[in-house]
Structure 1
Amino acid sequence: MRARSTSPDQSWPPASSTPTPTCSTSRCPWPRSSTSARHARGRTSSTPSGSAHFYEKESWRDLPEGALPDAAALDAATTEHPVMIQAWAPHVPNHAAFNSAALGIDADLPDGEGGITVEKDAGGRPTGRVSGAVNDYYNHTHNDFRAEVWGRIPFIQPQLLPPALSGAMAEQNGLGVTTIYEGHAMDPEHIGVYEALYQAGALTLRVLAAPEVLGSALDIKVAAPDEDKLAEHLAKAEAIQGDRGEMFKVNGPGYNGHLAMREPYKGPYGETTEGHWFIPSDIIELALREAARRGLRVNLCGGGLKEHDVVLDLLGKLRTDGVIKGGEHWIFQHSIFLDARQAERYAGHGFDMTVSTAFTYGKGEMYRERMGEQVLADLNAFRRMLDSGIKVAAGTDWGPKNPWESMALAVTHTMGKGVRAPTTAGRSGSASGRPTPCGAGGRPRCSAGPASATSTRSVTRT
């Protein structure tokens, strides 16, 4: 069995502090009985021992006890089924919890291991809670301990994908969605599920998919990308390209970076960082040139201002060399931060963009705390993109899955604490001034509840 939690970035330990490796049960605030345990008990009562059962709950913040349970609490639900509450969002430090059947660790385990802290009681026994670099995806600690443990967990079970996709498509149909773009963290095997549904006549949405090249979202340990690996991945991407008809098309490879900024900012453990590059710039340039030569529609993924600077300089170089002409309609996903000049330059290269509005709702306060108030003016800059002539779509990668909520958040720029981020609500380059509470001064009403910030990854994207 597996339970999924979402982005517990502010629970034990506080993001701004150094994780404490030991904690006496008598002085720790987490209750023995928990809502999570009651949910687990209800699901395991109808699940055969040894079988996995997947269910989703919102953030730990929504639990009455306001905390993740420990192994003792989860054992009250079941000792026959392994239970793991996942850290399902790219927040670090992050937090996860196990019951005794899933724990597989004992008092001999070090208190800390490669960016992971194991909480222990006063007797030195693991409590079932771990923190640090424990998030499921975009976890690039190159940690042997984590790789060994996570490698034994069946996170993706193929038999569950068709019914999950069918249910997700029906949900999106009910919201008025007719077409989706799957262009992020998509391996050929994932696209193959859509292919199978298409062949079976079971697609109820038009699907455009793009295989990820040199991907690093879901890999337990990511090898450094090089020219040989790029050639291998591009060949696989090219092999599955094609127009299968009105309902299913595959076009383009994807590449990504991770919040590289122009100025240093505070990292997850209080250290100074400028972000992380998954792919070095020389490999990015080669990838863009090769994709253009093969006639593939490039799909870039990133979010930091420095990433845009580097990519735009490369695009200018390719344009000068005659490799691209500006009519390719390449795509940049997320574009979490984007300044006015960058938007104009992307428009000049004919780029389209997708943006997940929950990067403001769910992470705006974290960006403010770690990078400073000034970065909010460039956060999720929909108006700036539109004014520059960029075609923009709202993505459900990190929520919300409801397209109408995405539209509302694109206008309100609501952050999770109920304030409006001073982002580009006016014309290009302008800002909306100080944050305004949701619903104040004639502002649109806030999205109801915390679901927009805590929605788990969806298999559909709008």
Structure 2
Amino acid sequence: MSDSSATTILRNAHILTFDPARPRATHLAWHKGRITAVGGEEVLDLAGARTRVLDLGGATVIPGINDTHAHMEREGLKHQRPSLAGARTVAEILDRVREAAKTTPQGEWIVTMPVGTPPFFFDGPDTLAEKRLPDRYELDAAAPSHPVYIQGVFGNWGKPPGHSALNSRGLALNGITRDTAPRIAGVEILKDATGEPTGIIIERNNRPTVEFDILPAVPRFGFQNRLDGVRLSQRLYNAKGTTSIYEGHGSAAETISVYRKLWELGELTVRVGLVVSPSWSDLAEAKKIMRDWLATARGSGLGDAWLRVSGVHIAYGGDAATACCARAHLPDTGWSGFVEQAVTPEDYREACFLAAEHDLRLHTIVSDQLHEVVPVLEAVNEKHPLSGRRWVIEHIGRARAQDIAALARLGIFVTTIPTYFLWKGGWKYLDEPDNGNWMVPHRHLLDAGIPLSLATDNIPYDPFFSLWVATTRQERQSGRVIGPDQRLDAETALELFTVSGAQLTFDEHWKGPLKPGYAADLAVLSDDPTTAPPAALRDITCNLTVVDGRVVYGAD
């Protein structure tokens, strides 16, 4: 094939390019992973003897989804443990434990996924007729030769409380007795009338701490587990049209190592941008690590078109006991994939100055504390101008006009998780002033000219669910709309979910819109999001996903 020919041509398509010079097209060609032409039937002139021409029958084509707060490392792990989905009684739970015992060598752990309906597990034990988990003695009878652990829900998927259960072997291996007292608030060991543990533990923290605190013997995800998990995660994310991710919440050293290994093996099918999740315990250690060990993450970082590491995530707030317990279990990070932090306002301010001094891009989740973080950014800016550094504020909940104006002046980038605050956690914000128009204020952010991108947070990882939330802003239980003036039209939301995120990895000059010279990263959809009714957006599926000109999901 000559260099002037196209490897592949899509014809008879409805192409949303997000290229202002040509927003719509019907034909698209690529060669060696880059788009060579976008337009009408004249694109067919690039066809050579070996060009593959795909007639899409009018199907919609969009740039690949760029999930800018993806937590992709989690999804594949969920498939490594037996599922309890669909169980409606304690007896059915016990039957599944018995089945697992048949294939698990004697003495080895049986660890299951939570009780409830995935992916959120909102219903938990309420999905069972008995409204409770099996106790230690029932689990003993089901698996007398194995320690058993039914894990509680990871709060980021659903909402606390989480309910865990262990049998007697499991309790003994973890040293849990009638005298065991959790170090972390929010963890409760249930006991019977005699004061003995029943085997059931209730966790009221959003991110479970029970394993870090009182269950050291429960098996952790090892490096190979995480490697295999990301391998599966990539396939699952590709199947939703996702071609790039960005992990602004930060990745622990072990997580970065997993992605590095897949990059080394040439197995990445999702372009990956990572941010360092540090494990320092105080400012003195932070200063030394920033100075001596994070040079590769400075500025735009190091990497290529498939894997790039840049910047650092520094938390604002957090529980000190949780962070201490979590660091003690490194390299294991549980389901998080990042290192738990607890940073006081005073230490946060100093850490921001250190990050600026060492040219490390800051990433911080602010939730409802944007008004507390903005003054710190303004103070840093006076000594180290932030314009052009592409610092990132994430997970904005409540905001104020003056804070948004400040972000715009400072040149701060923003990523939001509409599903987290509006749909899943929206019950807390149903009675906000101004009809909730300052909650996750997408329109206000865009009107201020702030670079903005949307993300899934893996709750769920389907971008079209988050697209639906961004356009409807409905709270999940009441259906009430939070911030009606902040609703996005589908085309704007789709742009924020595709091309906008390229700026976070300094890739906007070659990745994002479907235009000549840019990466052939795209998805073919079941429906056109820009014409579908808002209620139908979450039902859109992906039929074909292409990354770097290669089909990574779907049939020819």
Q: Structure 2 length normalisation: TM-score?
A: 0.59
Matching of residues 56-95 of structure 1 within 5 Å: 56=113, 58=118, 59=121, 61=123, 63-65=127-129, 66-79=131-144, 80-89=146-155, 94-95=162-163
Mapped pair 1:101 → 2:101: no
Matches within 5 A, 1:81-230: 81-89=147-155, 94-104=162-172, 108-109=178-179, 115=185, 116-132=187-203, 136-137=207-208, 139=209, 147=212, 149-213=214-278, 225-230=282-287
Evaluate the alpha carbon distance shift between residue 44 and residue 443 of structure 1 in structure 2; reply closer, same or farther with a 3 A threshold. Answer: same
Which residue of structure 1 lines up, in the alignment, with residue 371 of structure 2? 309
Residue 357 (structure 2) pairs with residue 296 (structure 1): no
Q: Structure 1 residue aligned with 2:103, among 8, 23, 46?
A: 46
CA–CA separation in structure 2 for the residues paired with 1:35 and 1:383: 48
Q: Does 1:355 align with 2:355?
A: no
SS in 2 for 1:252: strand
Q: State the AA in 2 paired with 1:396.
A: T
Change (3 A) 1:108 1:394: same
Q: CA deviation at 1:362?
A: 2.1
CA 178–146 in structure 1, closer or farther in 2 if over 3 Å, else same: closer
Q: CA deviation at 1:298?
A: 1.5
Name the CA distance, whole Å, in 2 between partners of 1:39 and 1:127: 20
Tell me the CA shift for residue 40 of structure 1: 3.2
Render the CA deviation track for 1:16-52: whole Å, top value 9, x for unaligned. xxxxxxxxxxxxxxx9724443433333332323445
Equivalent residue letter for 1:248:
L
TM-fit CA distance, 1:185? 4.2
Mapping for residues 403-422 of structure 1, pairs under 5 Å: 403-422=463-482
Give me the whole-angstrom Cα distance separating, in 1, the residues matched to 2:479 and 2:473.
8
Report if the CA contact (8 A) 1:69-1:97 is conserved.
Answer: yes
Q: Which has the higher contact order (CA 8 A, sep 6+)?
A: 2
Following the alignment from structure 2 to structure 1, what is the Cα–Cα distance between the partners of residues 268 and 291? 27
Q: RMSD value over aligned CA atoms?
A: 3.5
Distance apart, 1:234 and its partner CA: 5.9
**Alignment partners' CA distance in 1, 2:95 and 2:485:** 44
Q: Identify the residue that residue 236 of structure 1 maps to in structure 2.
A: 293
Identical aligned pairs, as a percentage? 21
Task: Give me the whole-angstrom Cα distance separating, in 1, the residues matched to 2:232 and 2:411.
Answer: 35
- Which one has a bigger Cα radius of gyration? 2
**How is 1:451-462 mapped onto 2 (pairs within 5 angstroms)?**
none
**Cα shift at 1:327:** 2.0
1:287 is aligned to 2:351: yes
When residues 202 and 443 of structure 1 are mapped into structure 2, their CA distance, relative to the original with a 3 A threshold, is closer
Per residue, is there more strand in 1 or in 2? 2
Unaligned runs of 5+ in 2: 1-79, 320-340, 489-532, 540-556
Question: Does structure 2 conserve the Cα–Cα contact (< 8 Å) formed by 1:382 and 1:424?
Answer: no
Q: How does 1:392-411 map to 2 (within 5 A)?
A: 392-411=452-471
Q: Deviations over 1:59-92 (max 9, x none)?
A: 1616343543332343344231321322411656
In the alignment of these two chains, the number of paired residues is 375
SS of 1:251's partner is: strand
Identify which of 398, 423, 436 aligns with 2:483. Answer: 423
Aligned CA distance change for structure 1 residues 71 and 330 (closer, same or farther; 3 Å): same
SS of corresponding position for 2:90:
coil
Letter of the structure 2 residue corresponding to residue 386 of structure 1: L
Shift of the 197–75 alpha-carbon distance from structure 1 to 2, 3 Å rule, reads: same
Between the aligned partners of 1:351 and 1:379, the Cα distance in structure 2 is 18
Question: CA offset at residue 157 of structure 1?
Answer: 1.7
**What is the aligned partner in structure 2 of residue 432 from structure 1?**
none
- CA positional deviation for 1:149: 2.1
Distance in 2 (CA, whole Å) between partners of 1:300 and 1:187 is 15
The alpha-carbon deviation at position 200 of structure 1 amounts to 0.6
Shift in alpha-carbon separation, 1:446–1:364, aligned structure 2, 3 A: farther
Measure, in 2, the Cα distance between the counterparts of 1:155 and 1:312: 38
Paired with 1:92 and 1:308, the residues of 2 have a C-alpha distance of: 24
2:366 alignment partner AA: G
Q: Deviations over 1:311-336 (max 9, x none)?
A: 21122222223x12422211112113
CA distance in 1, matches of 2:472, 2:318: 23
Structure 2 counterpart of 1:117, one-letter code: E
Find the aligned partners of 1:447 and 1:400 in 2 and give their Cα distance.
11
